A and B are shown apart, each in its own frame.
Chain A
């Protein structure tokens, strides 16, 4: 039946970039100045990943009156002071230059005057700092970056996944790959950059694209890298609730930025009760909890959401500033110019991830990381607009420092590694359970038991389920399904990391709410620091000590 002894080949490059979202593309462009660069992605270049879907915008201090100091403070406060201050400092001070890079490469962001980028207000920020291209800001970035990649000699290997990092002792020396037909391969590299994006597809209701399964967290973890704050999952307050297959699809924060108001089924602007000062533009964690509370207390809509209303805005303004939202809702029979949207929280962003230095170096030699797969930049809650900035700032840094890595000689037997991977694939061919069956149960338990409000009891229940699922072997009835089997295995690892982080953190902070724990401290004077997980052990940092 199945061809289980896949053909393989070995290729070599100076820098291997895994993932072609905003971070990976930016890293590849930078790295290519230092030597042969290979851009590997599970999808077609640029088409995968969440960057292309990002709608709202990119935070950069550009306008007079704003300052990187303010941006720093907003980011730290939004992140409940769990952010790594060095990384935040790097983010805010370099984000404007990276925005200018995009402009030099051809980006077409909206202008509000000749040569003056338009900037919109976004939640949790004291200044209009979010640059945008209508509500297709991420698409604008990806278009710019991929067009530039096509101008270079970067080798694009498309529709091929990294299924494991290639280890040479403790050093990361490339990756094992699997193409879409199920053929194994090996890429050796002097430096490797993980830019695989986020992983909230581990939740039943999520904004992420199909590639948002968190492969990079699992690859890094298996290779021995340290991950921090994996419990920090951002639930975006406004996801679609209807029709059923579209649940979770993002309704951009720009809708509220442009003046959209939230109402319950009694017509009350309920944010008055939760954050009268910032109202709809409060931070995402606060708005998500407010909406969830309204729904739980019976003031939700027919389809289990609340109303988000822009009908008071002039139709032309909606058409110009929110064209994608308008078009998407029209496709589902709702005209947002005259009808309110129905929304509910949806799993959106993983703030945690691989621990990095400001040079984007992970804890493993030879391995760099950038974008959503990293942790520490956004702390316990990410501000809207900071992730796109993060992809560019740390993408460039990862590319630069990976590029500067000296050439290395391989001391490991590639054939031996390949036969181990082939054995893994063979096991999938003799597996027990269809991968989508495992994924479905995993997503449901994560949503039910590791969601917006968490308790130790529920988290333990989720862990039991995950353990049971980890004992099943996903089954590939054809070698083209091997990828899916690898993915679901990775998702289980990510789910476990989130659950363990959430159990470790016995406090409510930012996006992480433990409703079973009473605490008498504010985020600023919390006794806890990062949760730290690796194959070598797990812990939570306590004040005064560093992991």
Chain B
């Protein structure tokens, strides 16, 4: 027997004006689950505690609660001392019970027909990966798009895709889902992150439904404009300033000893909108002994096409982006754009290793920068945190850069999934939500590591939004200023301008 003390958020609709937190100390068995701890509260402290459960084995989806702010199945998650148990982010009915009935009612099935044979292997294999849903609604409770837009939500999109894939039902799902808010999803992958059955709703349902919508001509006009641009120029954005690829030499030798070598995939945003940021990152690597090779023929990774379902042109992009590195014998490719990194890692079958700048810094180690006392917070880019599982590396780096690091809850800023371009209002709502969270921390700067987040949050935030490598760059500059020594790390070798291509 172990004794644990933990809190539960309670709410009794008959007597409480608002929810409140209560602390309980109970005896539980070794290896007890959260559900066992709740049973213990009911038996040892308060028999009126209300919560749902039934199967006790992760299969009925009744028992979702938040433990320390993350949704879990109470019957599967191990209980621990000092945990904070709260209901899902859905309308609370009573204590840990939330309103589920109305959402579930809308998850209807295929139109029943007369039996006319079983599924083919292909149809079966296609449906299987999104069929395991136990309707626990964890995904729905955490989806940022639902909170700000008219969106049926991840579980419903999963169900729509499941029906779309089923040859036994020939209704047109795509048109319907567009009305249900298909294009409001930012593909932030929060739903996948919290799903106890690991159902890849963004990749396996939402982007696939968008593909169908695309085939049916339902793509949003602004998304279509982006795709046209990629087709004609290989890039998602037009040229309004000198790009990284135009300015920087193909090979950047470090200032000192060569400790490593990587190819660099620049990405449209850094190349054409934030070239300064990219070049500061390159300077940081130059100072730290990493040789960088930048094939100039690289093009858009295709992420904006995949996220919006316009995948017909994708194979040609993929070919170019793979060959430009393999033809130079490069075995590790660096990304600094979280979206490109996630796409190369998850939507490509690359013969080379893809590494994000935060991973690279953690792996090779860097010259320690000076730390500042400015309070800073960090925004987790969705495509870094959930797309690539990178959360600790940037924090470790940031702790080297400030003595006053302040956490805020990780939530999508609204820039992803084509929402910023397609449905700016929805994106703006999420951006404002970020501003509030940043303000709550009291930080004087918000640090992040994704061009989309940088751009988008900057539009809504009251404090400056800084790329993490820019911060590092500035710290090194300050060190040089103080010591009066500058080994010339900032002077990146220039590209020999070809007058024809540079207009």
- Known A52-B55, A148-B112; contact A115-B105, beta-carbon cutoff 8 A: no
Which B residues touch A185, using CB under 8 A? Answer: none
Asked if residues A150 and B32 are in contact (CB atoms below 8 Å), the reply is no
> Would you give the shortest CB distance from B340 to chain A, in whole angstroms?
30
Among B118, B135, B169, contact of A115 (Cβ-Cβ < 8 Å): B118
Segment at the B interface, from A78-86, A360-368, A477-485: A477-485
Closest chain A residue to B136, Cβ basis: A47
Among A50, A101, A114, A144, contact of B115 (Cβ-Cβ < 8 Å): A101
> Would you give the shortest CB distance from A225 to chain B, in whole angstroms?
26
- Known A47-B54, A158-B101; contact A244-B59, beta-carbon cutoff 8 A: no
Query: How far does the alpha carbon of A324 sit from the alpha carbon of B121 in the complex, in Å?
Result: 22
Segment at the B interface, from A103-111, A408-416, A455-463, A499-507: A103-111
Asked if residues B108 and A147 are in contact (CB atoms below 8 Å), the reply is yes
B117 at the interface (CB under 8 A from A): yes
Among B36, B60, B116, contact of A209 (Cβ-Cβ < 8 Å): B60
B485 at the interface (CB under 8 A from A): no
B374 at the interface (CB under 8 A from A): no
> Would you give the shortest CB distance from B158 to chain A, in whole angstroms?
12
Asked if residues A245 and B58 are in contact (CB atoms below 8 Å), the reply is no
A49 at the interface (CB under 8 A from B): yes
- Known A111-B120, A211-B54; contact A245-B33, beta-carbon cutoff 8 A: yes
Among A45, A109, A151, contact of B112 (Cβ-Cβ < 8 Å): A151
Among B33, B48, B118, B127, contact of A477 (Cβ-Cβ < 8 Å): B48
Asked if residues B109 and A108 are in contact (CB atoms below 8 Å), the reply is no
Asked if residues A243 and B108 are in contact (CB atoms below 8 Å), the reply is no
- Known A53-B55, A140-B131, A158-B101; contact A48-B60, beta-carbon cutoff 8 A: yes
A382 at the interface (CB under 8 A from B): no
> Would you give the shortest CB distance from B471 to chain A, in whole angstroms?
39
A126 at the interface (CB under 8 A from B): no
- Known A243-B30, A477-B47; contact A210-B110, beta-carbon cutoff 8 A: no
Which B residues touch A138, using CB under 8 A? Answer: 59
Among A100, A136, A245, contact of B29 (Cβ-Cβ < 8 Å): A245
Closest chain B residue to A118, Cβ basis: B124
Closest chain A residue to B114, Cβ basis: A104
Over the window 36-52 of chain A, the binary record of Cβ atoms lying under 8 Å from chain B Cβ atoms (1 yes, 0 no) is: 00000001110111101
Query: How far does the alpha carbon of A158 sit from the alpha carbon of B100 in the complex, in Å?
Result: 11
Asked if residues A242 and B52 are in contact (CB atoms below 8 Å), the reply is no
* Docked complex: B39-58 residues within 8 A CB-CB of A: 42-43, 47-48, 50, 52-58
Query: How far does the alpha carbon of A104 sit from the alpha carbon of B147 in the complex, in Å?
Result: 36
Query: How far does the alpha carbon of A83 sit from the alpha carbon of B21 in the complex, in Å?
Result: 55
B168 at the interface (CB under 8 A from A): yes
Asked if residues A43 and B54 are in contact (CB atoms below 8 Å), the reply is yes
Over the window 95-111 of chain B, the binary record of Cβ atoms lying under 8 Å from chain A Cβ atoms (1 yes, 0 no) is: 00000110011111111
Among B47, B62, B131, contact of A47 (Cβ-Cβ < 8 Å): B62
Asked if residues B55 and A209 are in contact (CB atoms below 8 Å), the reply is yes
B499 at the interface (CB under 8 A from A): no
* Docked complex: B406-462 residues within 8 A CB-CB of A: none
Asked if residues A115 and B119 are in contact (CB atoms below 8 Å), the reply is yes
> Would you give the shortest CB distance from B343 to chain A, in whole angstroms?
26
A278 at the interface (CB under 8 A from B): no
- Known A150-B105, A150-B107, A150-B109; contact A209-B54, beta-carbon cutoff 8 A: yes
B91 at the interface (CB under 8 A from A): no
Which B residues touch A244, using CB under 8 A? Answer: 29-32
> Would you give the shortest CB distance from A159 to chain B, in whole angstroms?
8
A153 at the interface (CB under 8 A from B): no
Query: How far does the alpha carbon of A68 sit from the alpha carbon of B281 in the complex, in Å?
Result: 72
Query: How far does the alpha carbon of A436 sit from the alpha carbon of B43 in the complex, in Å?
Result: 7
A471 at the interface (CB under 8 A from B): no
> Would you give the shortest CB distance from A249 to chain B, in whole angstroms?
6
Asked if residues B60 and A53 are in contact (CB atoms below 8 Å), the reply is yes
Asked if residues B32 and A210 are in contact (CB atoms below 8 Å), the reply is no
> Would you give the shortest CB distance from B448 to chain A, in whole angstroms?
33
Asked if residues A147 and B109 are in contact (CB atoms below 8 Å), the reply is yes
Over the window 244-280 of chain A, the binary record of Cβ atoms lying under 8 Å from chain B Cβ atoms (1 yes, 0 no) is: 1110011000000000000000000000000000000
Asked if residues B166 and A49 are in contact (CB atoms below 8 Å), the reply is no
* Docked complex: A103-145 residues within 8 A CB-CB of B: 103-106, 108-111, 113-117, 133, 136, 138-140, 143-144
Segment at the B interface, from A168-176, A293-301, A326-334: A326-334
Size category of the binding interface on chain A: 35 or more
Which A residues touch B104, using CB under 8 A? Answer: 44-45, 146, 150
> Would you give the shortest CB distance from B63 to chain A, in whole angstroms?
10
> Would you give the shortest CB distance from A91 to chain B, in whole angstroms?
19
Which A residues touch B101, using CB under 8 A? Answer: 44, 156, 158
Asked if residues B57 and A328 are in contact (CB atoms below 8 Å), the reply is yes
Among A53, A106, A140, contact of B168 (Cβ-Cβ < 8 Å): A106
Asked if residues B121 and A106 are in contact (CB atoms below 8 Å), the reply is no
Among A52, A332, A477, contact of B59 (Cβ-Cβ < 8 Å): A52
Among A105, A114, A143, A243, contact of B120 (Cβ-Cβ < 8 Å): A114
Which B residues touch A250, using CB under 8 A? Answer: 57
Interface residue count on the B side (C-beta < 8 Å)? 57
Query: How far does the alpha carbon of A328 sit from the alpha carbon of B166 in the complex, in Å?
Result: 29
B255 at the interface (CB under 8 A from A): no
Query: How far does the alpha carbon of A100 sit from the alpha carbon of B133 in the complex, in Å?
Result: 22
Over the window 189-209 of chain A, the binary record of Cβ atoms lying under 8 Å from chain B Cβ atoms (1 yes, 0 no) is: 000000000000000000001
Which B residues touch A111, using CB under 8 A? Answer: 118-121, 124
Q: Which of A143, A156, A477 counts the most B-chain CB atoms under 10 A from its CB?
A: A143
Which A residues touch B30, using CB under 8 A? Answer: 243-244
B314 at the interface (CB under 8 A from A): no
Closest chain B residue to A484, Cβ basis: B47
A434 at the interface (CB under 8 A from B): yes
Asked if residues B54 and A48 are in contact (CB atoms below 8 Å), the reply is yes
Which B residues touch A47, using CB under 8 A? Answer: 54, 60-62, 135
B312 at the interface (CB under 8 A from A): no
Closest chain B residue to A104, Cβ basis: B115
Query: How far does the alpha carbon of A243 sit from the alpha carbon of B168 in the complex, in Å?
Result: 44
> Would you give the shortest CB distance from A93 to chain B, in whole angstroms?
17
Which A residues touch B133, using CB under 8 A? Answer: 143
Closest chain B residue to A48, Cβ basis: B54
B90 at the interface (CB under 8 A from A): no
Which B residues touch A242, using CB under 8 A? Answer: 31
Among B48, B121, B134, contact of A480 (Cβ-Cβ < 8 Å): B48
Over the window 303-338 of chain A, the binary record of Cβ atoms lying under 8 Å from chain B Cβ atoms (1 yes, 0 no) is: 000000000000000000000100110011000000
Asked if residues B168 and A210 are in contact (CB atoms below 8 Å), the reply is no
Over the window 149-175 of chain B, the binary record of Cβ atoms lying under 8 Å from chain A Cβ atoms (1 yes, 0 no) is: 000000000000000001011000000
- Known A111-B120, A143-B131; contact A478-B48, beta-carbon cutoff 8 A: yes
Closest chain B residue to A476, Cβ basis: B47
Asked if residues A53 and B59 are in contact (CB atoms below 8 Å), the reply is yes
Query: How far does the alpha carbon of A222 sit from the alpha carbon of B28 in the complex, in Å?
Result: 37
B132 at the interface (CB under 8 A from A): yes
Which B residues touch A106, using CB under 8 A? Answer: 109-110, 112, 166, 168-169
Asked if residues B47 and A478 are in contact (CB atoms below 8 Å), the reply is yes
Asked if residues B117 and A108 are in contact (CB atoms below 8 Å), the reply is no
Which B residues touch A45, using CB under 8 A? Answer: 104
Query: How far does the alpha carbon of A210 sit from the alpha carbon of B39 in the complex, in Å?
Result: 12
Query: How far does the alpha carbon of A53 sit from the alpha carbon of B31 in the complex, in Å?
Result: 22
- Known A47-B62, A136-B132, A245-B33; contact A100-B115, beta-carbon cutoff 8 A: yes
Which A residues touch B31, using CB under 8 A? Answer: 242-246, 332
What are 6 pairs between A and B in contact, CB < 8 Å? A44-B62, A53-B60, A147-B108, A249-B56, A327-B58, A481-B47
Closest 7 CB pairs of A and B: A243-B31, A147-B109, A106-B110, A104-B115, A100-B115, A150-B108, A244-B29
Given known contacts A44-B52, A50-B55, A111-B124, what 8 new A-B pairs fall within 8 Å (CB)? Answer: A101-B115, A108-B119, A113-B121, A211-B54, A244-B30, A244-B32, A245-B33, A328-B58
Which of A's residues lie within 8 Å of B, judged by CB? 43-45, 47-50, 52-53, 100-101, 103-106, 108-111, 113-117, 133, 136, 138-140, 143-144, 146-148, 150-151, 156, 158, 180, 209-211, 242-246, 249-250, 324, 327-328, 331-332, 434, 436, 477-478, 480-481
